[in-house]
């Protein structure tokens, strides 16, 4: 399911933000701004999977006016899975949903280096050097449009 900001209920939004802060701030100790105002952009899309305990996995897509790399204006980001649900294929389900919806357009993402092989399964190829973001090694990755 992909929804816009205005379609999120307060309970869904709370669950998404709780998951993101639990993983990015508490678990990974990322000390950079999590709430960047991009969630509420009219072209932002929010994807998630919920279970009896709440939001179990989430990602968002953003649409940039100017491509950051080649022709990729749509950026996949904030991919996160709750600790007790890792290894259950939830990130793959979300990535499949994005590819089904936007596979006909070029895509890019900034992957934590250890998880880059997951995105490679979906046709994303690394470019540039490994870089540090919030103290974690990252790779920029690009996926060409498919027909």
- pLDDT, one tens digit per residue, over 68-88 is 899 999 999 999 999 999 999
Q: Considering only 30-34, 108-112, 125-129, which range has the smallest mean pLDDT?
A: 30-34
Q: Are 145 and 106 in contact (CB under 8 A)?
A: yes
Confirm whether 116 is domain-assigned.
Answer: no
- Entry pTM: 0.90
Confirm whether 32 is domain-assigned.
Answer: yes
Q: Domain holding 71: CATH number?
A: 3.40.630.30
Confirm whether 24 is domain-assigned.
Answer: yes
Quick one: tokens of 8?
Answer: 């999120």
Q: Where are the alpha helices (DSSP H) in the chain?
A: 10-21, 90-102, 116-120
How far apart are the C-alpha atoms of 121 and 57, rounded to whole Å? 19
Total number of domains in the chain: 1
Note down the domain range covering 10. Answer: 2-102
């Amino acid at each position: 399911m992909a929804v816009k900001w205005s379609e999120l209920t307060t309970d869904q939004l709370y669950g998404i933000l709780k998951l993101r802060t639990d993983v990015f701030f508490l678990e990974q100790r990322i000390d950079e701004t999590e709430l960047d105002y991009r969630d509420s952009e009219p072209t932002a899309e929010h994807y998630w999977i919920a279970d009896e305990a709440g939001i179990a996995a989430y990602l968002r897509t953003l649409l940039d006016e100017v491509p950051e790399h080649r022709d990729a204006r749509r950026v996949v980001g904030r991919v996160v899975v709750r600790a007790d649900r890792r290894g259950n294929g939830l990130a793959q389900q979300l990535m499949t949903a994005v590819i089904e919806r936007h596979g006909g357009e070029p895509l890019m993402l900034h992957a934590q280096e250890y998880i880059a092989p997951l995105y490679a399964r979906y046709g994303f190829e690394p470019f540039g050097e490994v870089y540090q973001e919030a103290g974690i090694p990252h790779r920029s990755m690009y996926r060409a449009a498919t027909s």
